[in-house]
């Protein structure tokens, strides 16, 4: 069952959040916690994006709306309801639940944020990994490798992008997880990067990592557009979201963990396309 959708009407058109409810964590052996694993927050399935650290704790990123409590009319992260910090999050490959320790929606509301672009597209949360599972964490993205750093200058129209989703709708067909596509540009004061990928992000892919053509962390898959660019995805800018978290999140300085060499050849996707 698709989770209650988050719809956003604006310059980018009508958008639908891409999460799932009604699923449960798959059984997985410890030692395989990485970008692309499934996370479950009060039953809502999403996909982890990148690994982060503040020098003391290890975190997985996900979309803030994965812990949202509102309906389709709650379109603004500065107003939308969310589960509280401290909420447990099941993480595939972990022996114990993680804990949501940062949520951009809650942080913006506490700070009295009012900038429209920030409120609409700052969609980022951090899940602290239980210390018992930290040794099992790898920052490398399956198939693709990377991230090699953070993309700070956005992506131009037509630039290649890459992603790795893990929605339960794919029924475990791993060949459909890595995705290659193109940027449709950057808007909303640099906060949003609409993209087309093959295959497009679907419910359950929320929070997925999106990489630039050079393997840098571009952002977090946030929305599925219904109009005017049907089946495109909205990507929240990671650099801006991380800066916001570091300025207001109270967790010290959070840094992206790099995942080694990046390979954008995607032979699996090329095979699917014939």
pLDDT per residue as tens digits for the range 171-214: 554 555 678 899 999 999 999 999 988 766 666 788 999 999 99
Q: pLDDT digits over 100-125, tens only?
A: 999 999 999 999 999 999 999 999 99
Instruction: Give Dmax (Cα) for the chain.
Output: 51
The structure tokens listed for 122 are 């700052």
Low-confidence spans in the chain with pLDDT less than 70: 1-31, 71-75, 166-177, 199-203, 224-231, 266-274
Question: Strand pairing partners for 233?
Answer: 195, 224
Distance separating alpha carbons of residues 263 and 238, to the nearest angstrom: 20
Query: pTM of the entire structure?
Result: 0.85
**Mean of all residue pLDDT scores within the chain:** 82
Which domains occur in the chain, in start order? 7-23+32-257+265-273 (2.40.10.120)
Residue 43 token pair: 């039953």
């Amino acid at each position: 069952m698709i989770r209650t959708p988050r719809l956003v009407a604006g310059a980018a058109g009508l958008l639908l959040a891409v999460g799932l409810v009604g699923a449960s964590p798959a059984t997985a052996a410890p030692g395989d916690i990485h970008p692309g694993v499934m996370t479950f927050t009060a039953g809502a399935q999403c996909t982890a994006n990148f690994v982060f650290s503040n020098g003391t704790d290890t975190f997985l990123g996900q979309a803030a709306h994965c812990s949202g409590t509102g309906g389709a009319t709650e379109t603004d992260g500065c107003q939308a309801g969310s589960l509280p910090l401290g909420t447990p999050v099941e993480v595939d490959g972990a022996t114990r639940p993680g804990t949501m320790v940062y949520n951009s929606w809650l942080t913006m509301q506490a700070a009295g944020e009012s900038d429209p672009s920030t409120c609409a597209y700052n969609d980022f949360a951090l899940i602290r990994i239980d210390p018992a599972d930290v040794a099992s964490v790898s920052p490398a993205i399956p198939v693709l490798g990377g991230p090699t750093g953070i993309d700070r200058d956005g992506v131009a129209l037509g630039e290649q992008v890459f992603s790795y989703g893990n929605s339960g709708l794919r029924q475990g067909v791993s060949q459909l997880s890595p995705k290659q596509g193109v940027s449709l540009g950057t808007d909303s004061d640099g906060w949003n990067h609409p993209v087309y990928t093959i295959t497009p992000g679907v419910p359950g892919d929320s929070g997925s990592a999106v990489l630039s053509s050079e393997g840098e962390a571009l952002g977090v898959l946030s929305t599925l557009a219904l109009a005017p660019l049907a089946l495109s995805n909205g990507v929240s800018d990671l650099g801006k979201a991380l800066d916001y978290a570091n300025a207001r999140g109270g967790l010290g300085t959070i840094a992206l963990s790099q995942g080694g060499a990046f390979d954008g050849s995607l032979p699996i996707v090329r095979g699917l396309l014939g």
